[in-house]
Amino acid sequence: MAKRKSSGGWRTRYVKAKRTYHRARGFGSGLGGAVLGPVLQGAIAGLASSTLAGRIPYSTPLAYGGVGWFMKNPTLLTLAGIQASALIPNPLAGSNGGGGFI
């Protein structure tokens, strides 16, 4: 209902009440909410990686990058980048970079 607002003059203005919006409660950020979301996303990425392992080359960085991209998870995108960089041969190091920390 409109509220009456007097402005000191001879006219009376009616101010329309502002509508409030409420966000629907759902899973929150990402899949599963803020607590279990990253765990479920990591499990999906691991499952996708192991499923694609024998079928396509470079399956681990592709699976992690794909799940990270679609779920908007920067941690999975970072892991995909680290694993992809380990696959690039480094002539300065004298090895293929396979002895990384992951």
In a domain, 65, yes or no: yes
User: Could you read off the pLDDT of 27-79 as tens digits, one per residue?
Assistant: 445 555 666 788 899 999 999 999 998 888 888 999 999 999 999 999 999 99
**CA-to-CA separations, 87 to 36, 78, 81, in angstroms, rounded:** 31, 15, 10
* Side chain identity at residue 87, one-letter code: L
- What are the tokens at 1? 């209902």
In a domain, 14, yes or no: no
Helix (H) or strand (E) holding 64: helix 59-70
In a domain, 72, yes or no: yes
In a domain, 74, yes or no: yes
In a domain, 39, yes or no: yes
Q: Over range 8-33, report the average pLDDT.
A: 66
User: For tokens 């681990």, what's the residue?
Assistant: 60
* Side chain identity at residue 79, one-letter code: L
Q: What is the pLDDT of residue 81?
A: 94
**CA-to-CA separations, 11 to 7, 8, 15, 17, 18, in angstroms, rounded:** 7, 8, 13, 19, 22
In a domain, 16, yes or no: no
pTM assigned to the model: 0.57
Domain count, the chain: 1
The residue range of the domain holding 80 is 34-89
